[in-house]
Amino acid sequence: MSSNSGKDESQTFEHEIHYSQSSIVADGFLALLFLGIAIWIAVIGSFWSALFFSGIALFTVFRAVKRARVSGPALKFGRAGIWTEKLGMKAWHQVTAAIQVHVGTQGNASNYLSIMQRSSAELVLQRILVDDLDVDERTLQVWLKKYTAG
């Protein structure tokens, strides 16, 4: 594609939302905390517990690095549709987007931005944790409602 088409595409999006830098930094601190706990437990002599906390630290680092490596926006949307790196550009007549609460197996609730196939609302194409985005949930809901109504 020519550079002009990229420029035109970016003009069709009224909102560009990046990953929250504070969320990435918080994950880094959590990883250090879990690693410290793992080392302390390893010194005490509980190998399996140390391995468990090391796994949590590794998972947290993986999440933080994955989000930190994204140099552009995580999400773009406007009148024309919605864009994510995973899905590419999707027009609103193809998809809808909504904030959904997902309750985990232990009862903890997380809010996700769910991008769903318009013809089958049960088919979720992508879910993005709202806390990972650099916008508050209420603002995101207001912006999305403007484009997804109907």
What does the pLDDT read at residue 147?
84
What does the pLDDT read at residue 2?
34
Task: Give me 37's structure tokens.
Answer: 């706990």
Q: Which of 30-34, 42-46, 105-109 has the highest mean pLDDT?
A: 30-34
- Specify the length of the chain in residues: 150
96-141 pLDDT per residue, tens: 999 999 887 777 888 999 999 988 878 999 999 999 999 999 999 9
Q: What is the pTM of this model?
A: 0.73
Instruction: Read off the pLDDT of each residue in 45-55 and give the average, rounded to a whole number.
Output: 91
DSSP track, 101-130? EEE-TTS-EEEEEEEEETTEEEEEEEEEEG
Q: Where are the domains of the chain?
A: 3-17+73-148, 21-68
